[in-house]
Amino acid sequence: MQDEGYSFPSTTINKKLKKHCQFISQTKLISSYITDFFFFFFIMANHIVLLSLVALSFCYLAFAFEPSPLQDFCVADPTSSARVNGLACKNPMTVQANDFFFSGLHIAGNTSNPVGSRVTPVNVAQIPGLNTLGISMARIDYAPWGINPPHTHPRASEILTVVEGSLLVGFVTSNPDNRLITKVLQKGDVFVFPVGLVHFQQNVGYGNAVAIASLSSQNPGVITVATAVFGSNPAIAGDILAKAFQVDKKIVEHIQSKF
């Protein structure tokens, strides 16, 4: 006896099965894409976290010389016996305007000396309020053809602005290149000396010259090359310097006698 219910033609069943299989195949493909996406996202997230940590490390190193202040100010207290990296803070209730003030940068320095220049510093020793702020400055006066001899600032970069006259300035890169980078500056010109590199200035005019230097430390320090090498206390042995400079020991001793 024949079934009275509705029956699907075989072709219709095949089409539906085919569509169903295609749907399952597409679903698996989409699932595979989603899995690959999240795997890629996970890998990239790990790289981003790693790069972020590296960037933070560099930021920490960049500010490692003088950390940012944690209060409005920390005026240096020269009477304190506390031994800290910098200077101890004065009681903020006793701070006065003069702790942030210096007068005299308009006064020309006396350049009557063998090198023909005079540096007037304005750092934490002159302005106690500079303590923890990471900045300082100086006025430099030059006699005609006077020099600010080769020196370094071990704790600061320097930006120099010519106020009067013409200056030949330059610095030397580190070993092994020891490349000299130099330029003649005129009034209003600005030049940068990177931290720790040996640098110098020379007045190349017939009149006096003046420059203002800004430095990235409250206490940048100065190491004058000639004084450090030939005028150390106690003196560096003459035979060491003779071999270092490839000259006779008597020449070294003669130079040392100048210091």
What residue numbers does the annotated binding site cover?
A: 148, 151, 153, 158, 199
Query: CB–CB of 253/191 below 8 Å?
Result: no
Confidence class for position 87, pLDDT limits 50, 70, 90: confident
The whole-number average pLDDT for the span 57-76 is 65
List the structure tokens of 48.
Answer: 């981003």
Q: Which residue has the higher pLDDT, 12 or 151?
A: 151
Quick one: pLDDT at residue 80? Answer: 86
Q: For residue range 230-246, list pLDDT tens digits in order.
A: 999 999 999 999 999 99
Confidence class for position 61, pLDDT limits 50, 70, 90: very low
pLDDT surpasses 70 at 144: yes
Query: CB–CB of 229/152 below 8 Å?
Result: no
Quick one: pLDDT at residue 13? Answer: 54
First-to-last alpha carbon distance for the chain, in angstroms, is 129
The burial class, CB within 10 Å (0-12 / 13-18 / 19+), for 77 is: middle
Quick one: pLDDT at residue 85? Answer: 74
Q: For residue range 187-245, list pLDDT tens digits in order.
A: 999 999 999 999 999 999 999 999 999 999 999 999 999 999 999 999 999 999 999 99
Q: For residue range 127-142, list pLDDT tens digits in order.
A: 999 999 999 999 999 9
- Mean pLDDT taken over the chain: 84
Q: Which residue has the higher pLDDT, 52 or 175?
A: 175
Q: Backbone phi, then psi, for 74, in 5-degree steps?
A: -140, 75
Quick one: pLDDT at residue 155? Answer: 95
Quick one: pLDDT at residue 22? Answer: 59
pLDDT surpasses 70 at 150: yes
Handedness of CA 187, 195, 110, 131 (dihedral sign): positive
What residue numbers does the annotated binding site for oxalate cover?
A: 148, 153, 158
Compute the distance between CA of residue 93 and CA of residue 116 in angstroms, rounded to an integer: 44
List the domain boundaries for the chain. 9-64, 92-221
Quick one: pLDDT at residue 57? Answer: 42
Q: Which residues contact 203 (CB under 8 A, 6 or more apart)?
A: 116, 117, 142, 143, 144, 145, 146, 147, 165, 166, 167, 209
Compute the distance between CA of residue 124 and CA of residue 156 in angstroms, rounded to an integer: 14
Quick one: pLDDT at residue 204? Answer: 98
Q: For residue range 6-60, list pLDDT tens digits in order.
A: 454 555 555 555 555 555 555 555 556 555 555 554 555 555 544 444 444 444 4
pLDDT surpasses 80 at 103: yes
The whole-number average pLDDT for the span 167-193 is 98
Which residue, among 113, 106, 117, has the nearest Cα to 200 in the 3D structure?
117
Give the number of other Cβ atoms within 10 Å of residue 255's Cβ: 17
Handedness of CA 180, 140, 232, 253 (dihedral sign): positive
Instruction: Specify the CATH number of the domain 92-221.
Output: 2.60.120.10
What residue numbers does the annotated binding site for Mn(2+) cover?
A: 151, 153, 158, 199
